[in-house]
Amino acid sequence: MAAFLELEGVSKAYGALKVIDDLSVRLDAGEALGVVGPNGAGKTTMLQLAAGQLRPDAGRVRLEGRDVTDLPTRTRCQLGMAFTHQVPRPFVGMTVYENVLVGATFGRMGADGDAHQASLAALETVELTGRANRLAGTLPLLELKRLELARALATGPRVLLLDEIAGGLSEAEVHQLVATIRRLRGAGVSIVWIEHIVHALLSVVDRIVAINFGRKLIEGDPRTVMASPEVRDVYLGSEAGA
């Protein structure tokens, strides 16, 4: 069976620095895939290649078997792929609702319902309905993360690419955000999630891929991967024995 989302032998370099090196990763429909690795391993670049924010120097990107390597980000979004940034990027002078409406208006193609209803549904899913009329620039970090997620959901995605969405949150806030992501899983959205907060990943994902220096290190069952000598040495380092 063909993968729902597939990066096949992708590479990306900046001059002599190879950030992604012949990397192949697949995501099946309805699956949640975690991605781990040390800082500078190429994790965010991998997501940017999937989303179309970067073009690979080699290799192909496929969505539901369709080659989307040469398609721009907006087209991939309209085909059902949404990306959330590690650092939220709201339109700070617009309201929360207006921010989400932008995603619903320009990121949907052939989706059921109108942009207004899609925006309201996204706000309800991330529990931001009560903040709809607040300026985005006044939100605390957790609500900014929720807004970033709502803007992605308003596009009607079938696959979500999450780049350290839990970063910077308190432990209690992480648990709240994880509950939201688990609800999305239950609704059938496929997920690729980069995250350093390991317990958050373990509570959601079906499989983990560890990468280092832009190459796949190991992949498989989440707890097996995180307990492996390769990941303990390269990703966790001295923290693994603490």
pLDDT value at position 63?
97
Give me the number of domains the chain comprises. 2
Q: What is the rounded CA–CA span in Å between residue 192 and residue 44? A: 11
For the stretch 74-108, what's the b/e string if a residue is b when 16 or more beta carbons lie within 10 angstroms of its beta carbon? eebbbbbbbbbbbebebeeeebbbbbbbbbbeebb
- Same domain for 138 and 192, yes or no, is no
Q: What is the pLDDT of residues 72-105, one digit of tens each?
A: 999 999 999 999 999 999 999 999 999 999 999 9
pLDDT higher than 80, residue 239: no
Q: What is the dihedral of CA 188, 191, 196, 201, to 10 degrees?
A: 30
Retrieve residue 144's tokens: 């900014």
Query: Which two structure tokens, joined as six digits, stand for 86?
Result: 């590690």
Domain limits at 98? Answer: 89-156
pLDDT at 113: 60
List, for residues 212-228, the tens digit of each pLDDT value: 999 999 999 999 999 99
Point out the least confidently predicted range of 171-175, 182-186, 237-241: 237-241
Where does a domain end: 132, 156, 180? 156
Do 198 and 104 belong to one domain? no
What is the tens place of the pLDDT at every residue in 129-182?
999 999 999 999 999 999 999 999 999 999 999 999 999 999 999 999 999 999
Residues 127 and 234 in one domain: no
The pLDDT value given to residue 107: 86
- Residue range 2-20: average pLDDT? 94
194 and 211 in a single domain? The answer is yes
Output the average pLDDT for the chain.
92
Other CB atoms within 10 A of residue 206 CB: 15
Give yes or no: residues 142 and 163 share one domain.
Answer: no
Separation of alpha carbons 121 and 215, rounded Å: 38
Identify whether residues 164 and 234 lie together within a single domain: yes
Query: Is residue 101 located within the same domain as residue 26?
Result: no
Per-residue pLDDT, 242: 35
Q: Is the pLDDT of residue 111 over 70?
A: no
SS3 231: helix
Same domain flag for 59 and 166: yes
Share above pLDDT 90 across residues of the chain, in percent, rounded to a whole number: 88
pLDDT for residue 240: 40
Instruction: Measure the CA angle with vertex 164, ends 101 and 116; round to 5°.
Output: 10
Nearest to 236 by CA among 36, 33, 45, 86: 36
Number of helices (H), then strands (E), in the chain = 9, 10
Q: Are residues 238 and 128 in the same domain?
A: no
pLDDT of residue 241: 39
33: nearest Cα among 174, 170, 240, 225: 225
Give tens-digit pLDDT for 17-40: 999 999 999 999 999 999 999 999
- Verify that 146 and 176 share a domain, yes or no: no
Asked if the model's pLDDT at residue 109 lies above 70, the reply is no
Are residues 66 and 128 part of one domain? no
76 and 16 part of one domain = yes
What's the rounded mean pLDDT across residues 109-126? 83
CA distance linking residue 81 with residue 160, whole number of Å: 6
pLDDT at 238 over 70: no
CATH number for the domain harbouring residue 242:
3.40.50.300
Q: Which of 239, 240, 209 is nearest to 222 (CA)?
A: 209
| Three-state DSSP string of 166-184 | CCCCCHHHHHHHHHHHHHH
